[in-house]
Amino acid sequence: VRAELDQAAAVFEVYHERRPNTYIPLVALGDIATRQGELEAAARWYRKGNLAQPEMVTPLIRLAENAARRGDYDGAEVALEEAELVALALRQQAVVAEMRSRLASLTGSPNDAVDHLEHQFSLLVQNGETFDAWIDQLRATQLYANAGRLDDVRRFLEEIQVEFQPPIDFIPSIGYMLLALFEGDLEAAEVHCDRLEQGLIDLNRPDMLHMTSLTRGLIERDRGHLEEAGTFLGKATEQLDSSIQQALTDGSVDRETILIETAKTALVRERPEEALEAADEIRLSWPHHPEANLLAARAEAALGDVAAARKSLDRARTGWANAEAGFALLAQAEALTTQLEAEAPR
């Protein structure tokens, strides 16, 4: 991947030389720097993109995410507020709402995350992009589950089922598959996963097959088939990274999800080295990712590196400083902190 990133950077540098007044190559160079873990360089590229076209939202959205990656949540909020000032079109407002949802989910506010997502969906519908709104809402099933709002998912699936006709009648399987998985109905999850996979193959959409591999990994983990789960999760990563553009842009959230589940599975298999490797792959480009740091802390504690585990826990708790009451992952971080303190030599 590194060689492909370098090649892509060379292409976008030429693009920038030829069209210096457009933000597109500058944001792309920032995305490449982000993937390589060069966050300060990425911030400079995004700011240049903003200066090239200050009326565009995308560079500001990237600046907000970049600040969050560095643990600067106040800076992320400043960039989002700046983005809201220039987001005159409904599509631009939807992009801002999507980033607000993502950051709320990351920092332990699942209900806020869903509220921002629903605002995004309403903006897309107002803009005549109803189909895109439906797809995004199907893929957001996990956010609804985190907020304890699966009844909303059920109602939504009932409402839209008739809207999807052949050859895309399989698309609601995204939501049904995830809903069954969260409810523990592994057989139903597998049936919907099979249907989704075949539909994607028939439509020649290999760029989305990582979703089914990820789901198969989670199904096998819940069945206790840990080796098979690891194989499917590894396949999901390979499928996502096979498209460099997908890996850099739309696939970044999916990639983090796959790596999070890979780390969890490795911990269940009592393979802390593998768990730490997966967590560190996230932390390369997102050092302050709270859940990645919690998983890293669990792995580091298992490996006996208590000092590193404490540092990772500090980063996780900082990210969840304003989490909603009862947020489960923060409770896990606090419990592990208490455990390490109790085990510390007196």
* pLDDT tens digits, one per residue of 185-216: 999 999 999 999 999 999 998 888 999 999 99
Q: Can you give the pLDDT at residue 1?
A: 64
DSSP secondary structure code for residue 271 in this structure:
-
CB 163 within 8 A of CB 170: no
Tokens of 32: 């490449």
Q: What percent of the chain has pLDDT over 90?
A: 86
Q: Mean of the pLDDT values across residues 241-247?
A: 59
CB 108 within 8 A of CB 289: no
CB 205 within 8 A of CB 171: no
- pLDDT-derived band at 341 (thresholds 50, 70, 90) equals very high
Residue 250 has pLDDT above 90, yes or no: no
Using a 10 angstrom Cβ sphere, with 0-12 exposed, 13-18 middle and 19 or more buried, the burial of residue 273 is: exposed
Contacts of 346 (CB under 8 A, 6+ apart): none
Q: Can you give the pLDDT at residue 252?
A: 65
CA separation for the pair 26, 243 (Å, rounded): 20
Contacts of 196 (CB under 8 A, 6+ apart): 170, 171, 173, 174, 177, 211, 212
| One-letter amino acid for residue 184 of the chain | G
Contacts of 263 (CB under 8 A, 6+ apart): 274, 275, 276, 278, 279, 292, 295, 296, 299
Of 16-25, 56-65, 240-249, 318-327, the one with minimum mean pLDDT is: 240-249
CB 107 within 8 A of CB 87: no
Mean pLDDT of the chain: 93
**pLDDT tens across 1-36, in order?**
678 888 989 999 999 999 999 999 999 999 999 999
DSSP 306-328: HHHHHHHHHHHHHHTTTPPTT-H
**pLDDT tens across 69-105, in order?**
999 999 999 999 999 999 999 999 999 999 999 999 9
Q: How many CA atoms lie within 13 A of 233 on its CB side?
A: 26
Instruction: Pick the more confident residue, 22 or 253.
Output: 22
How many contiguous H segments (helices) and E segments (strands) does the chain have?
A: 20, 0
**pLDDT tens across 257-268, in order?**
999 999 999 999
Helix (H, G, I), strand (E, B) or coil at 81: helix
Residue 114 has pLDDT above 70, yes or no: yes
CA distances from 118 to 50, 152, 233, 338 (A): 27, 11, 29, 37
Termini Cα distance of the chain: 47
CA separation for the pair 38, 126 (Å, rounded): 38
Angle, helix 251-268 to helix 210-222, in steps of 10 degrees = 20
Residue 343 has pLDDT above 90, yes or no: no
Residue with tokens 């109790």: 342
